[in-house]
Amino acid sequence: PTRFMGRRPEVKGRRKDGSEFPAEATISRIVLDGETVFTAVVRDLTALRQAEDALRARERQMRMIIEAMPFGLATIRQATGEILFANSAFGALVDCERRKLAGRHIAEFAGTELTEKLVKGEGKPDLASP
C-alpha cells in the first residue's frame, strides 16, 4: 500500500506551463475486470490558500483595530462567563495583562450584578432587528 492511500496529503502540482501549485491528492485502488488499477483525484488548492491568506490578513487587521481602541472590550462565553478575548484597554481597566485574561471567569473582574447580566445575556442588542 502506498503512503497516500486513504489520506489527502498536500502535494505540489505542476501546470502545463511548468508553474507549481498547492494540491490535494487522493489515491484509491480498485479492481477492474480482475486487474488492480489506481485512481488519483487531484484538487487545486490555490484559491483555498489565497482565501486562507486573506482571512489571516483580515484577522490581523481586526486585532490591530480592536487593540487600538481606547476603551475596554472583552468577548465572554455566555454559558460559562469565561473570557475568550480581551483587548489591552480592558486589561488595564481590570488591572490584569491582556494575555492572562483568556480562560478566566468574568466574575474575577466584574461585580456580581454585571456578571449575572452578562451570563444571562441581559442588555445585549437584538441583532435580528432592522
Q: What is the third-level CATH fold of 1-68?
A: Beta-Lactamase (3.30.450)
Contacts of 127 (CB under 8 A, 6+ apart): none
Are the C-beta atoms of residues 42 and 25 closer than 8 Å to each other?
Answer: yes
Q: What is the pLDDT of residues 25-47, one digit of tens each?
A: 888 899 999 999 999 899 999 99
Q: What is the CATH number of domain 69-122?
A: 3.30.450.20
Give pLDDT, residue 10.
87
What cell does 91 get?
486589561
Closest CA to 27 of 5, 47, 45: 5
Distances (CA, A) of 128 to 14, 75, 121, 125: 48, 20, 15, 9
What cell does 107 get?
466574575
- Per residue, what are the HEC states of 42-76? EEECHHHHHHHHHHHHHHHHHHHHHHHCCCCCEEE
Please state the domain extents for the chain.
1-68, 69-122
Calculate the dihedral angle through the C-alpha atoms of 49, 53, 59, 62, rounding to the nearest 10 degrees: -140
Q: pTM here?
A: 0.59
Distance from C-alpha of 50 to C-alpha of 27, rounded to nearest angstrom: 25
Stretches where the chain sits below pLDDT 50 are: 1-2, 125-130
Q: Helix, strand, coil proportions of the chain in percent (round to 5)?
A: 35, 30, 35
